[in-house]
Amino acid sequence: MFDYRKAAYAQEILKKKIKLQPFKGSINLVAGCDLTFLNPFKTPTEGIAAFVILKYPELEVVERVYATGKITIPYVPGFLAFREIPLLIRAFRMIKKKPDVIIVDGHGIVHPRGLGIAAHLGVVLNVPTVGCAKKPLYGRFNMPGKQKGNYSYIFDKYTNEKLGVVLRTKDNVKPVFVSPGNLTDIETAGNLVFSTVTSYRLPEPTRLAHNFLREIRKKFL
DNA sequence: GCGACAG
DNA sequence: ATCTTGTCGC
C-alpha cells in the first residue's frame, strides 16, 4: 500500500527546496514529458514515460526518448508525482541533449501543499520546470477572456499569494493552468508556455510528447 | 456536511 | 489517464 501521510510529509519537506526565481541564462532547448498506461484504469499496470526535446524558439524536434516500467502507485489527486515520477526519471536519464527547461503535464506550485508534479520533478532533478495542466486542482481564479493570449492569475485561497496563471492558448477553447515548478517564476512559466503554443490548445513540447507516446503505445499492444 | 478533485 | 466515432462551431 501507499502511505499518503508520509507522502504528504515528504511533499512538505521537498517544497522547501523549491527555488522560485526568474529563469537564469537563455533557453535553447525545451522539453515536454508525458506518460501513458497500458491500462489506465487498473493499478498496477505497465507505464511508458517520454520526453521530447525541441530547439527553442524554433520548436524543431531534436530528440525523443522513452522508458517503460511497472506502475504500482494509484492515482490520487494531490499525489500524482509519486505515481509518475519514477518512470519520468528513468526516461530523463536517457536524454543525450539535456533541456534547459521542462514543461510538465500537470501543476507546479498550484497544489494543496505547494508541490505539484512539475515542482516535485524540478526539485528532484534540480532542473528548471514549468507546470501546464489541463484542469484546475487548487487555488482561486477568474476565467480569462475568450481570446488567445488572455489570462488571469491563480491565487492561494488562504494566503492570497499569487501562484500561477490561467492561460487561454486558443480562441474559444478551454484554458490551461500554468505555474512554475522549480528554478522559474510565474512570468517565466507563462511566457514559456505561450511562446511554445502554435495553433493547438497545448504547448508543442507537451503535445508532441503525448503524440509520441500514442505512437509508442501501439507497439506494446 | 458538501463539493471539488492534476494524470 | 485510453480508444473511436460522430457532430457542431469557428
Give the pLDDT confidence score for residue A181 in this predicted structure.
Answer: 98
A212 contact to strand C (CB, 7 A limit):
no
Give the pLDDT confidence score for residue A60 in this predicted structure.
Answer: 98
Report residues of chain A scoring pLDDT below 50. none
Q: What are the DSSP calls for A116-159, one per residue?
A: -HHHHHHHHHT--EEEEESS--SSB-PPPPSSTT-EEEEE-TTT
- Looking at domain A23-219, which CATH architecture does it have? 2-Layer Sandwich (3.30)
Give the pLDDT confidence score for residue A201 in this predicted structure.
Answer: 97
Give the pLDDT confidence score for residue A1 in this predicted structure.
Answer: 87
Each domain of chain A, given as residue ranges in start order, spans: 23-219
Contact A96, A150 (CB under 8 A): no
CA distance A117 to A221: 28
Nucleotide nearest to A84 (CA to C1'): B7
* Nucleotides in chain C with any atom closer than 7 Å to protein CB: 1-3, 10
Mean pLDDT of chain A: 97
